[in-house]
Each structure stands twice: as structure tokens, then as C-alpha cells.
Amino acid sequence: MEPEILIRKEGRAGRLTLNRPKALNALTHDICLKTTEALEAWRNDPDVALVILDGAGDRAFCAGGDVAQVTAAGKAGDYAMGRDFWRDEYRMNLLLSHYPKPVVSFMQGFVMGGGVGYGCHIPFRVVGESTQMAMPECGIGMIPDVGGTWLLGRAPGQLGLYLALTAARMGPGDAIHARFANRFIPEAEWDAVKARLCETGDVIELPAHGTPESAMAAQQHHIDALFAGETMADFVAALEADSSDLAARTLKAIRHNSPLSMASTLAMLRPAPASLAEALKQEYRWTWRSMERSDFIEGVRALLIDKDRNPRWRHDAPDAVPEADVAAMLESLGENELTFP
């Protein structure tokens, strides 16, 4: 059986390649643990000057976390599997963010959820022509985790809120505009660029290319106006009063997604987290409770397992979530709070 992640040293580089192309390189708990183990082993290894993250196949760098097993356990009343997975995944996210050596990710195809957490908290974040990046969690009854609220909170204007509440996909230019990525390199050059990085161990080998156009950058002022309000009811009213295609698409998405997830995400982004560690701790409070108290299991059923696309959410409308329900998802976990070794 092929390993889920390929871990090796090539020249001056430590290399981590997600190796589940048929599953769109979805993250497993074991991948997170092995990534952490490799990073710790290379931390003081004089032979490793930098780390390269990539994914096997053409379709995806990483389309998210593999939630099927987690939700199956949750339906059976076993919440520990998911909680352990998220705890170790979030610790890996923070480790990647402050790793003492340069880390470079090459993110083709689908980059969603856990894939964003794997590849977007590091200094050098490369996208190509095929990149389709998103935080789609509100559509499956989850919240943008893996440090997603930290990234969304740093996007320009109200773009982060728009991306979170609609699960809109970003092309390469959009991803750079939203600050999820910071370098565009045509994918035909990637193999040669990786080879030079391995040979020299120097990120100066990353070439400079112009940034592709961003439709979201062109719509920034419109998005800012639509999400200038304070509450979900404000957003819905602004969208209903706007006759544009953008408003119609946005309203359709918001009416389809989990009301509890969206209300919780709004609370987590207003105000935005002060640091990635703070974001991860807050996200863990929500995900720790998610299988018992949220729409997560139902959302996964409707969107990923049965695929009937007809989830039965706990609340009837985007503006029908009591503040107390959100507060209950985000209150302290006490002795179960996320800590970082």
C-alpha cells in the first residue's frame, strides 16, 4: 500500500508530499502526526535548509480533512477521534507557521479547508493556473478552522467574511489578493523550480512572475458595501436590496449554508483573532463541541455522504440564531482547552 505522505530529503530540502491523489490528498490524523514528526526531526538537521510541501497528482494540493471517519465515529457517540485529530492538526498548523527554516508550498488544483491550513501559514505560498482555493466549512455545518479565521481576518476589507459565509472559490489571482498566497508561478515551471530549491536550499530560486487578474479585487468595493453591517440580518437585508448578480449569488449561498456555522464565524471574525494561536484555540472550542451540538454531522451527511444536498439545519434561517447558541459553542473548554507543546 502506498504511504499517505512521502517524507524524504532531497539535496538541501526536506520534502513532504501528500500522497492520496484519488482522495484529493485529503488530510488524515496520521498525515498530521507524521508531518509534525518530520518537521521536528529536520529542525536542527544541518542538511535541511528548507522544506517543500506539495501534493501528488494534478487535481488537488489538498481538498481538506478526511471527515468521513470522524463523522462516522461521532454518529456512534465517539467524539474523541475528531477531537484528537483536530488538536494535533491545529498544533501542526502553528508549527508550520513559525518553523525556523523557510517552508514553500506548491498548491495546484483544489486547496480547501485543511489544505489551506497545511499550505497557507508559511512564508512562501505558491499558486498556479489550476488553483481553486476556498474555505467551504459553513456549507457542511462547520466553521473555517485550521487557522482559517486568522487568514480570513487578515483579508482586505470585508473579503474574509464574504469568503467564509459563501464558501466562494478563489482562483490564483484571488488567492493572492486575499493574502492566502503570495506568489504565482506557471505550473509548467514547478518541477524545475523544486529541483533548484533542492539543489541550492535557497528560496532565492523562486522566480518572480506577474500576479493574474483577480475578479474579487475588482469587486472589492461592492463586497465591502454588502457586508458593511453588523449582523446576519443586516447582510441579508443588504443583499436583498441589491439587484446585482454578485448579490444574488451571495444570497443564494448564505441561504443554503448552516445558520449556526455562519453566525459563529461572524462572531469569530468580528473582531478578528489577534494571532494564529488565538484563532486556533477559539476554533478548537467550536470543533470540540461540533459533533454533539452543531450541524457538522448533518452537513457531512447531506453534502459528502448521501449527497442529497438537502441538509436539515438546527436553525431555520441565517438571521435566526440566538446569540446564546453561538456563545455556548465558543465558551472556554476549561481543562480541555487547546495547548501548544
Q: Encode 143-175 in three state secondary structure.
A: CCCCCHHHHHHHCCCCHHHHHHHHCCCECHHHH
Residue 55: HSE in the Cβ half-sphere, 13 Å Cα cutoff:
32
Closest of 128, 71, 113, 89 to residue 295, by C-alpha: 71
Annotated active-site residue in 54, 66, 137, 174: 137
Annotated active-site residue in 54, 66, 89, 145: 145
How many other CB atoms are found less than 10 A from the CB of residue 327? 11
In this prediction, residues 51-65 reach a mean pLDDT of 97
Quick one: CA dihedral 61, 64, 65, 70, positive or negative? negative
In this prediction, residues 7-24 reach a mean pLDDT of 98
In this prediction, residues 214-241 reach a mean pLDDT of 98
Residue with cell 500576479: 211
Helix (H) or strand (E) holding 60: strand 60-62
Closest of 161, 302, 286, 135 to residue 229, by C-alpha: 161
In sequence order, which residues have a C-beta less than 8 Å from that of residue 98 and are 6 or more positions away? none
* pLDDT tens readout for residues 152-168: 999 999 999 999 999 99
- Residue 67 confidence (pLDDT) above 90: no
Instruction: Indicate the pLDDT class of residue 135, thresholds 50, 70 and 90.
Output: very high
Q: What is the pLDDT of residue 321?
A: 97
In this prediction, residues 98-104 reach a mean pLDDT of 98
245 annotated active-site: no
Annotated active-site residue in 114, 128, 171, 173: 114
Quick one: CA dihedral 298, 134, 38, 44, positive or negative? negative
Instruction: Indicate the pLDDT class of residue 219, thresholds 50, 70 and 90.
Output: very high
Q: What is the mean pLDDT of the chain?
A: 97
Strand, coil or helix: what is 243? coil
Instruction: Indicate the pLDDT class of residue 245, thresholds 50, 70 and 90.
Output: very high
Residue 299: HSE in the Cβ half-sphere, 13 Å Cα cutoff:
25
57 annotated active-site: no
Q: Enter the pTM of the model.
A: 0.97
CA dihedral 60, 165, 287, 133 (to 10 degrees): 10
Q: What is the pLDDT of residue 33?
A: 98
137 annotated active-site: yes
Annotated active-site residue in 14, 64, 65, 74: 65
Domains along the sequence of the chain with CATH: 5-131+170-205 (3.90.226.10), 219-330 (no CATH)
114 annotated active-site: yes
The x, y and z cell numbers of residue 300, run together, are 457531512
Residue with cell 449554508: 257
CA distances for 178 relative to 32, 103, 164, 249, angstroms = 26, 20, 12, 19
In this prediction, residues 90-103 reach a mean pLDDT of 98
Q: How far apart are CA 168 and CA 161, in angstroms?
A: 11
In this prediction, residues 252-261 reach a mean pLDDT of 97
* Per-residue b or e along 287-315, where b marks 16 or more CB atoms closer than 10 Å to that residue's CB: bbbbbeebbbbbbbbbbeeeeeeebebbb
Please tell me whether the peptide bond between 144 and the residue prior to it is cis, using omega within 30 degrees of 0: no
